[in-house]
Amino acid sequence: MAAFQQRHKVFAPKAVNLYLAGLMTFFVILASGFPQPDLVFAQTPEKVTVTDMAGRRLQVVKNIKKIIPLGAAARFIVYMQSLDLVAGMEAIETKWTTAGRPYGLATFAKAETLPVIGAGGPGKLPDFEKIITVWPDIVLAMGIDIAQVETIQQKTGIPVFVLSYGTPGTIDIATIKEAFRTLGQLLDRNARADQLIATLDSLKKDLADRTERIAGSARPRAYVGAISYMGIQPITSTESFFVPLAWAGGRNVVDAVGRTGHFFVDPEKLLAWNPEHIFIDAGGLDKVADDYRRNPEFYHRLKAVQQGHVFLIMPYNNYHTNLEIALADAYFIGKVLYPEVFTDIDPATKADEIFSFFIGIPAYTTLSKEYHGFGRVQFDKNGHLSF
């Protein structure tokens, strides 16, 4: 037996154990000389169930880091100071433009550095493949048809969260506040949402407090004309319960008609009302100027024209409602109608204060290049307007 073990070098158990221990020690020493890789295990992001403003229930990641805004949602992202989360934008946001859309001053520089995920604009679907390439945590849609929203979500596999302004063309403060709160919770920007709501309430209260002691009979009768509606319109284009005029405590002569929203009035009806003040939406100014050249007699029959009480305000509906312009308009209207209680207000300065808070930029001078700024409109005897 001893001879067999010697010939075949059979190891005893003790020898085997010593051999294995030495081998393991060798590999430990060898491995210690090389950097060890970190083991990273992919974790599925935690998800939560949320309900959007269209009542749709969605599964979204709890900590949203990347978003794509569609439609008017980009404006609210500016209001929420959340451009840092944006990972892709529509082409319309890459254009440096202020015409009725001052938030574009805040988005265009950012948009130029991001992937373009579609043309943008009313009724236009984005590029599904480009959205998938960006792969945001969520797509935010505002002012987009629900059927289109469902199509976008189905084609991309990315949750599309619907935000709302309320009825298009109107200023629905309750819905706007709800949108602020909803975005604050969704994006973890609750503090900014609270700021927006508090400032909006404060500005509205300030306007109301200034005129609360003025009797209804002492409030000048006013008319707002040339309001854009599916394009520029003439002076007969108006709106009942025009929000900036209501905020300023004015008496809108068309409220007596009993209709809501936008409509056209008969020129003879405007003459019959003969308001003391007329405010022209600057978006329709060219239309008014052309009409005045053709029919100056009509305008000179209006008391407001005769007394030099026709004024320009800025249009606030462009790619949906620009809340900051509506508020600035209200302060200018208040200054015109009730100068005695707005003595501390310079409309241009107040506009920049409002713009700076909502969009981060004092945009009044830039907007004035587009719309001539707040001021008086003069109707000369030769059929021309001056500002």
pTM of the model: 0.87
Mean pLDDT of the region 242-261: 95
Cβ atoms within 10 A of the Cβ of 69, count?
A: 30
- The domain spans of the chain are 51-198, 215-386
- CA distance readout (Å), 347 to 327, 336, 387: 11, 10, 16
Per the DSSP assignment, residues forming a β-bridge with 69 are: 140
Q: Which of 180, 173, 179, 209 is nearest to 195 (CA)?
A: 180
Lowest mean pLDDT among 1-10, 46-55, 198-207, 352-361: 1-10
The confidence score (pLDDT) of residue 29 equals 41
pLDDT value at 363 more than 50: yes
- What pLDDT sits at residue 360? 95
> Across the strands, what pairs with 58?
50
**pLDDT, tens only, 203-246:** 999 999 999 999 988 999 999 999 988 889 999 999 999 999 99
Backbone angles phi, psi at 344, to 5 degrees: -85, 0
pLDDT score, position 8: 41
**Torsion angle of the four alpha carbons 314, 320, 321, 324, in this order, in degrees rounded to the nearest 10:** -70
Predicted pLDDT at 240 = 95
- Mean pLDDT, to the nearest integer, of 198-205? 98
Task: Identify which has the larger pLDDT, 367 or 344.
Answer: 344
| pLDDT range class, residue 97, cuts 50, 70, 90 | low
The predicted pLDDT at position 100 comes to: 66
CATH superfamily of 215-386: Nitrogenase molybdenum iron protein domain (3.40.50.1980)
For 250, the 3-state DSSP assignment is: coil
End-to-end CA distance of the chain: 122
pLDDT at 228: 87
Tell me: the pLDDT tens digits for 161-178? 999 998 877 899 999 999
User: What per-residue confidence (pLDDT) applies to 132?
Assistant: 98
pLDDT, residue 133, reads 97
Half-sphere exposure for 269 (CA within 13 Å, toward CB): 14
Percent of the chain with pLDDT over 70: 87
pLDDT at position 11 over 70? no
Is 98 within 8 Å of 116 (Cβ atoms)? no
Predicted local confidence at residue 35, as pLDDT? 44
8 A C-beta contact, residue 379 and residue 309: no
| Domain at 51-198, CATH class | alpha beta
E-state strands within the chain? 47-51, 57-61, 67-71, 138-142, 160-163, 221-225, 237-240, 251-252, 261-264, 277-281, 310-313, 375-376, 378-379, 385-386
Tens digits of per-residue pLDDT, 115-150? 999 998 878 899 999 999 999 999 999 999 999 999
User: How far is Cα 95 from Cα 112, in angstroms, rounded to an integer?
Assistant: 9
Indicate the residue type of 123: G
pLDDT average, residue stretch 286-296: 96
pLDDT tens-digit series, residues 99-123: 667 888 888 888 889 999 999 887 8
pLDDT of residue 99: 61
**Domain 51-198 shares a fold with domain 215-386:** yes
Q: Give the pLDDT score at 54.
A: 97
pLDDT band at 96 (very low <50, low <70, confident <90, very high): low
* Helix axes of 190-211 and 347-359: crossing angle, nearest 10 degrees: 160
Q: Which of 183, 4, 178 is nearest to 77 (CA)?
A: 183
